[in-house]
Amino acid sequence: MPMQSINPATGQIIQSFPIWQADQIDAALDQVESAQTGWAVLDFEQRARFMRNLAQVFRQNSETYALMITEEMGKLLKEARAEVEKCAIGCEHYAEHASSYLKDEIIASDASRSVVVYQPLGTILCIMPWNFPFWQLIRAAAPAMMAGNAVVLKHASNVPRCALALEQAFQQAGFPANTFRTFMISAEQAEQVVADRRIAAVTLTGSSAAGRKVAAIAGQHLKKCVLELGGSDPFIVLDDADIEWTAQQALIARLQNMGQSCIAAKRFILLETIADAFVERLQILINQLRSGDPKDDETTIAPMARTDLRSELHAQVERSQASGARLVTGGFPMDTQGAYYSPAILDHVQPGMPAFDEELFGPVAAIVRVKNAEEAIRLANRSHFGLGGSVWTRDPARGEALARQIHAGCTFVNGIVKSDPRLPFGGIKDSGFGRELAYHGIREFVNIKTVWIR
């Protein structure tokens, strides 16, 4: 069955693409392996020139790429534009900083001279999701390639146009042929590629189930992997928070990308004294949103990426209600063309309910009421996930003290959880392991080698 690009706002098929045969995969792996050896011997400034060119390609084609993202996975066009710009920023960051991040380190030892050097591993397989179809790839590929690795992309099957556009962007930027390739392959074929000797390591952003499968194959073949998986981020609102402003931030944190983000706020843990006021204000803000064409800048409710994902989300909402959660607003598939879902608030959510225990990958806010900050931290950490989290308070010192207690890869005080090329990004527990971005990310896929000289 071919890959299909389907517009989630209309349900119409945009284009279909054949899945590669085994001989195409084999030939492409040979080509990438050969290209990587030449790429690895270039110095940082030579690689940086190509990476800066890529940043220019993203900016020059921003509207084209943004429209493609919106048509293929449903993101609001204004959010898609921001995603493309973030790709350009990521490319420029690694073009500027890769040489310092991977600079030789002189270490005092019993040698006349001992040096730690950072050298590329080879070809890195990037298995990427559909929710940020450009940025997710760039935040993995930019550091990997600046380190001297080649990159193979296996993208989500519902964004094939974005996958091919990324390969064309690298070509337009002048990268040597086959240093970056998009493989049009199925999930089953990707498992075989992970095991292939020509792949040195793998990074995956996706579900916990997919992460376990990839990690098992990589482990069997003794290959490094980095996994950025699901999340159920807590959004803790203390009793001294500015309710009006925090509710506005909560709306963005929950509904950006229509809630289809691993680091979207999902469990809103509220102190009882301010819970009613917060829920009332959040409901007002949600009811002011307007569904429509995601290409229209006036639209604030975009479709979800696929109708099957909408059905899964709705089932979680219904099961949570059956377990005692109270639906405050929304929470139903909208009676319109496309994969639209009415943004919802589920109140009185408790452990044991799907809205607490599972990841709600869509526009549903789960409200959890607690007596004090200690209970808020306890429930924040009562999760299989550990990607991000935030604390909202007028007392930054108090917020930091609590943020340090949240079990997650990143915690924010009075700020929406986000990725930033300057800061490491990743999770713990079922949210995966390893780090992307900053110097931590570029050092994931290198050989950290000791050179000892007498």
Q: Which of 126, 262, 436, 444 is catalytic?
A: 262
- Burial environment of residue 420 by CB neighbours within 10 A (0 to 12, 13 to 18, 19 or more): middle
- Single out the residue of 156, 149, 157 nearest to residue 201, CA to CA: 149
Sequence-distant (6+) residues with CB within 8 A of 295 are 67, 70, 71, 77
Residues β-bridged to residue 105: 116
Q: Which residue has the tokens 């509710």?
A: 247
CA distance 367 to 227: 28
- Single out the residue of 196, 141, 191 nearest to residue 163, CA to CA: 141
Sequence-distant (6+) residues with CB within 8 A of 312 are 361
Alpha-helical (H) ranges within 299-395 are: 307-322, 354-357, 373-380
Q: Which of 33, 71, 83, 228 is catalytic?
A: 228
Residue 191 known to be catalytic: no
Residue 298 known to be catalytic: no
- Burial environment of residue 426 by CB neighbours within 10 A (0 to 12, 13 to 18, 19 or more): buried
The set of catalytic residues is 228, 262
